[in-house]
Structure 1
Amino acid sequence: MKSSEADILIIPGWSGSGPDHWQSRWEARLPTARRVEQADWLRPQREEWAGRIVEAVRAATRPVVLVAHSAGVSAVAHAAEHLRPGEVAGGFLVSPASEDAKRALPDMEAAFAMHRRETLPFPATVIASATDPYCSQDEARALAEAWGATFVDAGDSGHLNSDSGHGPWPDGLLQFASFLRRLG
């Protein structure tokens, strides 16, 4: 699959992704990419965030590829229970946040902080760093396994965001292109 053949849904985590974040850059660069907006980026609500993803998936006109970061990965996992098989072509899930990290955020809904650990109804890749302050690589690997996803070790890369020096994240774009090719 080529990026031009998919509706690429960008799903940021807590506080959204600022202008220097790789998700914002990809959204600007990839013509079929668009952000799934949330009503409140600072107060994630499980059903609201998941519902927005499901709405965006159902409004798509091409095969859907989800590109999530941090707490956005949790939103994707929560949305998965409402998605029918075949509605999403794949999920590119980067730097999931641990339950403890999410609980430490102000105004975090307990139901959102919990990880859903059922197999996702679409192929997925989880990319995580060995030095992510918001999730150990062991926990990220366990999530990938629970979700039936491929795990990719990002090495010593922090939280894979602009604060860790991954504004443009060209290596991630190459991995994303490879992920799309595997989807067909």
Structure 2
Amino acid sequence: MTSKAAQPTERPMRADARRNYERLVETAHEVFLEGGADASLDEIARRAGVGAGTLYRHFPTRADLLDAVCRRWMDSVLADAEPLLEAEDPVAALETWLVRMVDHVGAFRGLAGRLLLARDRKHSTGSVLHETLIRFVERAQECGGIRTDVGPTEVMQLTSGITQACESARAMGKSADPTVLVGIVMDGLRTGAEGGSARA
């Protein structure tokens, strides 16, 4: 009788390796905020106080490091979304979250397209954002507050456009408040002849 080969198990990190990992992710978050997705990996290692070899042992590719940073970022976005998913007014909650999502994504200069549109990547933050948006849209549709002929995919595409428009405005030194643009999208989504957004 042939025994089955043992399945490899992932060994837990040593304490010092875990500290290096966390420091690299935190530093990468700061550097990507400053310089966008193409910021220098050597600069990240230098600021984190580790050698380039340590960085590449934890993150063999830039995409691996981006995924780690985005997963940490995603935790904060989802924590922001959960209370809104319990709000009494699902339509106002949807509008509030769309504005916050644009702000969150826009903070990562140069990452907006990757975050919102790269839904087929491993650990894709775009996929998580889309799944969360489905929950907001379904709640708003179930209460009859928004149209049912427009789905989460279309809302995500519109939100991606707003995010990139805000990025372009900031790159030109102009102010970029997503509230007005999100409000226009919400005006088109609301049911009833009265329309109107909840923005002040």
User: Normalising to structure 2: TM-score of the pair?
Assistant: 0.27
Task: Identify the structure with the greater helix proportion.
Answer: 2
User: Normalising to structure 1: TM-score of the pair?
Assistant: 0.28
Give the structure, 1 or 2, with the largest relative contact order (CA under 8 Å, sep 6 or more): 1
Which structure's CA Rg is the greater one? 2
Task: Identify the structure with the greater strand proportion.
Answer: 1
